[in-house]
């Protein structure tokens, strides 16, 4: 132990303590590098996704209301793209777009995309215009059949790209808030290789799913009818329960 | 120390301390961001900020908690203690950025007040027992972070000599002991939060090591403290209690005596022994581990000074600590556990020529 006495208000510490402090600072730097590096390197990689925050594009198509609000772009079989629709912040289809189901509409919004899943954040009410002519060009669903699936309940707006990562316990409060606000719920499924697929969850017919938002980020088991609505996998849920 | 509170000037040591602290923060942030950009390039900027600030704050909190016991175990670490409040405020600022951004990111722009949402978004899972089993993994982690940030806010706000002066060292120090509950809250925040999402064993291992290191250092320091203090025996005649044979003290050095439930600093100054209170008026530093510098017993924590004879700080400062009567009886040192009236000068007891043991002498 050094026999020198340290007094903080003096301009310089004793020489031996100066050397020690230098070594301590160096040691702390090394420990910091190792620990922070290990923590950072051990993170699960965030999945790819995109959110054109602050970038608005024009969209035009048929507004499909009901259990799962969509913008259907294109009418020819095989050339249809369904865009999921949500509002700004943690809300589902905005009020200004409601009541226009089946109409041709145009508006500006920000694109959210993960793989084949595409979603539009309708954040510019002034750009919304509806062609009042009702359309009969809404594509029909392709039924796959009854299934039972188990996965994580996610809010699709965050999971598809607004937040990365947009799933898991840390994100749970946000997911619950989003589901409460009307963002369409999805069931996140993963295979053994970690590949992910999200199936949109609705009630049967045109009814929305009666879902407890507090189940967000928890594992649930759902039973119902699986179908493809254009490019969007959808499950009309007859029964659901917690599975974790 | 001061006759009234005033801003303390920056000196070279403080600047070096703050520069090293800033360097650690910048280096830690750069490391986290760099490695994350490599392993998780799709992470959003918000996620990067949230995680960088939380990792750095939690790491620095461990350093802060380790400084106290390290300085007790080896006085060479005392320089780390001197400017520790800057480290604490830095931790608070990092935690504040983390907390505010997390509240905005996860709870703003919804159908509920963000602060209400923060604590109630999945409030049903506050029940840790339901459906016939424990549901701890789902317990909300946010309240632990909110409470810890509240404690850090209080401590950061009080980390100024203005409040030290107003509250007094005892109350001020008691407030700052809240850092320990805050640490426990943050451990819970991490355990119920990110550890329920990330599956790498690195996280629980590091969390466990950190907790064990902090706990072990405090236990070791407490054990050393017990050994280092010389305990006086039962009281004897005229209220004096025997301390035993006086251990050799170098000129200008001091040591801690335990007299009943109180601690006393025994100081050798100009070949005499003096006894003063052990608790510095500034932040409760152990004066018995200080030295005599320029005729004053100097606290090892922040350098506050007291004259060994009367316990007074040198003019113009007005702090004062208790002084005690010493006696030599049959080659043993005795002390009276009741302090002398405030500012009473004492002559102490004289040491023999060789300076190793005090001469038998009457009451000082």
Distance CA B236, CA B105 (A): 68
Q: Is residue B3 part of a domain?
A: no
pLDDT tens digits for range A75-121: 777 789 999 999 999 999 999 999 999 999 999 999 999 999 999 99
Residue finishing a domain among B228, B263, B288: B228
In a domain, B4, yes or no: no
Q: Which of A134, A159, A193 is the last residue of a domain?
A: A134
Q: Does residue B302 share a domain with residue B179?
A: no
Within a domain: residue A7? Answer: no
Q: What is the CATH number of the domain that holds A58?
A: 2.40.50
Q: Which two tokens stand for residue B215?
A: 């706990």
- B42 close to A165: Cβ distance less than 8 angstroms: no
Same domain for B20 and B103?
yes
Kindly state whether residues A175 and A120 are assigned to the same domain. Answer: no
| CB proximity under 8 Å: B 42-61 to A | 42-44, 46-47, 51, 55-56, 59
User: Is A16 part of any domain?
Assistant: no
From residue A36, give the alpha-carbon distance in Å to each of A22, B54, B169: 21, 11, 36
pLDDT attached to residue B261: 78
Of residues A74 and B56, more confidence is placed in B56
CATH code for the domain in which residue B202 is found: 1.20.120
Note the pLDDT of residue B236: 58
Given A110, A134, A158, which residue is the final one in a domain? A134
Q: What is the dihedral of CA A104, A131, A160, B34, to 10 degrees?
A: 130
The residue to which tokens 């048929």 are assigned:
A62
DSSP string covering B247-298: PP--TTBEEEEEETTEEEEEEEETTEEEEEESB-TTT--BGGG-EEETTEEE
Low-confidence ranges of chain B (pLDDT < 50): 2-3, 355, 357-364
A14 located within any domain: no
Spell out which residues of chain B touch residue A45, defining contact as CB-CB under 8 Å: 39-42
Residue A228 within a domain: yes
State which residues form the domain around A159: 142-242
Q: Do A216 and B122 touch (CB under 8 A)?
A: yes
Q: What is the pLDDT of residues B14-59, one digit of tens each?
A: 899 999 999 999 999 999 999 999 999 999 999 999 999 999 999 9
Q: Is residue B327, in this structure, part of any structural domain at all?
A: yes
Predicted local distance difference test score (pLDDT) of residue A135:
67
Q: Which chain B residues are Cβ-neighbours of A42 within 8 angstroms?
A: 198, 200, 202-203
* Tally of domains within chain B: 2
Structural domain contains residue A9: no
Count of domains for chain A: 2
Are B216 and B311 in a shared domain? no
Chain B positions touching A177 (Cβ under 8 A) are 106-107, 110-112, 117, 121
For residue B317, the 8-state DSSP code is: -
Q: What stretch of H or E contains B37? A: helix B12-39
User: Tokens 């340290």 belong to which residue?
Assistant: A6
**Per the domain annotation, does A35 fall within a domain?**
no
Task: Tell me what pLDDT residue B227 has.
Answer: 58
Are residue B180 and residue B254 in the same domain, yes or no? no
Given a contact cutoff of 8 angstroms between Cβ atoms, the answer to whether A166 and A160 are in contact is yes
Please report residues of A whose CB lies closer than 8 A to that of B32.
36-37, 39-40
Q: Are residues A169 and A231 in the same domain?
A: yes
What residues make up the domain containing B304? 237-350
Instruction: Pick the last residue of a domain from B228, B249, B270.
Output: B228
Residue B115 included in any domain: yes
**A143 vs chain B: nearest CA distance in angstroms?**
34
Regarding whether B172 and B245 lie in a shared domain, the answer is no
Over pLDDT 90: what percentage of chain A?
80
| Nearest CA-CA partner of B10 in A11, A225, A7, A154 | A11
Question: Residue B1 falls within a domain, yes or no?
Answer: no
Residue from B21, B68, B61, B56 nearest B182 by CA? B61
Out of A111, A134, A157, a domain closes at A134
- Does B65 fall in a domain? yes
Residue B203, domain member (yes or no)? yes
């Amino acid at each position: 132990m050094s026999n020198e006495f340290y007094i903080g208000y003096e301009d310089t510490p004793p020489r031996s303590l100066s050397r020690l402090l230098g070594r301590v600072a160096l040691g702390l730097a090394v420990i910091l590098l190792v620990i922070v590096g290990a923590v950072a390197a051990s993170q699960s990689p965030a999945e790819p996704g995109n959110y054109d925050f602050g970038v608005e594009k024009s969209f035009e198509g048929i507004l499909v209301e009901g259990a799962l609000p969509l913008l259907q772009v294109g009418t020819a079989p095989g050339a249809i793209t369904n865009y999921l629709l949500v509002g700004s912040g943690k809300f589902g289809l905005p009020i200004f777009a409601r009541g226009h189901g089946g109409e041709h509409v145009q508006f500006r919004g920000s694109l959210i995309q993960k793989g084949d899943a595409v979603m539009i954040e309708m954040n510019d009410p002034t750009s919304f215009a509806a062609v009042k002519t009702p359309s009969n060009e809404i594509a029909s669903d392709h039924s796959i059949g009854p299934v039972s699936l188990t996965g994580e309940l996610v809010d699709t707006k965050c999971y598809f790209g607004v937040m990365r990562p947009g799933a898991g316990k840390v994100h749970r409060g946000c997911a619950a808030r989003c589901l409460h606000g009307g963002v369409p719920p999805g069931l996140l499924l993963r295979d053994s290789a970690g590949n992910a697929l999200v199936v949109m969850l609705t009630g049967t017919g045109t009814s929305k799913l009666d879902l407890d938002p507090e189940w967000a980020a928890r594992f649930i088991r759902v039973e119902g009818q699986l179908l493809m609505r254009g490019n969007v996998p959808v499950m009309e849920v007859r029964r659901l329960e917690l599975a974790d | 120390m001061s006759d009234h509170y005033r801003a303390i000037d920056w000196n070279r040591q403080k600047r070096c301390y703050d520069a090293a602290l800033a360097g650690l923060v910048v280096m830690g942030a750069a490391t986290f961001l760099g490695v994350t950009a490599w392993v998780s390039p799709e992470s959003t900027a918000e996620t990067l900020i949230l995680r960088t600030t939380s990792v750095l704050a939690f790491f620095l909190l461990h350093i802060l908690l380790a400084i106290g016991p390290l300085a007790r175990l080896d006085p060479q670490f005392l320089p780390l203690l001197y400017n520790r409040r800057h480290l604490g405020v830095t931790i608070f600022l990092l935690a504040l950025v983390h907390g505010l951004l997390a509240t905005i990111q996860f709870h703003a722009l919804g159908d509920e007040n963000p602060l209400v949402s923060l604590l109630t978004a999945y409030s049903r899972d506050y029940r840790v027992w339901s459906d016939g089993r424990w549901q701890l993994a789902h317990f909300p982690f946010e309240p632990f972070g909110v409470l810890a940030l509240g404690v850090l806010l209080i401590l950061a706000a009080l980390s100024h000599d203005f409040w030290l002066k107003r509250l007094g060292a005892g109350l001020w120090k008691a407030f700052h002991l809240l850092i320990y509950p805050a640490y426990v809250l943050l451990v819970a925040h991490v355990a119920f939060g990110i550890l329920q999402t990330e599956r790498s064993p690195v996280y629980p291992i590091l969390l466990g090591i950190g907790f064990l290191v902090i706990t072990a250092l405090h236990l070791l320091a407490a054990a050393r403290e017990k050994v280092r203090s010389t305990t006086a025996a039962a009281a004897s005649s005229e209220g004096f209690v025997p301390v035993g044979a006086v251990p050799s003290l170098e000129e200008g050095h001091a040591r801690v005596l335990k007299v009943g439930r109180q601690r006393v600093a025994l100081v050798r100054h100009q070949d005499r022994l003096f006894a003063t209170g052990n608790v510095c008026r500034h932040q409760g530093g152990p004066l018995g581990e200080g030295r005599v510098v320029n005729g004053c017993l100097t606290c090892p924590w922040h350098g506050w000074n007291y004259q060994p004879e009367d316990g007074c700080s040198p003019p113009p400062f007005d702090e004062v600590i208790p002084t005690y009567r010493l006696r030599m009886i049959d080659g043993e040192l005795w002390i009276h556990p009741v302090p002398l009236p405030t500012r009473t000068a004492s002559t102490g007891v004289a040491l023999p020529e060789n300076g190793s043991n005090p001469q038998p002498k009457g009451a000082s």
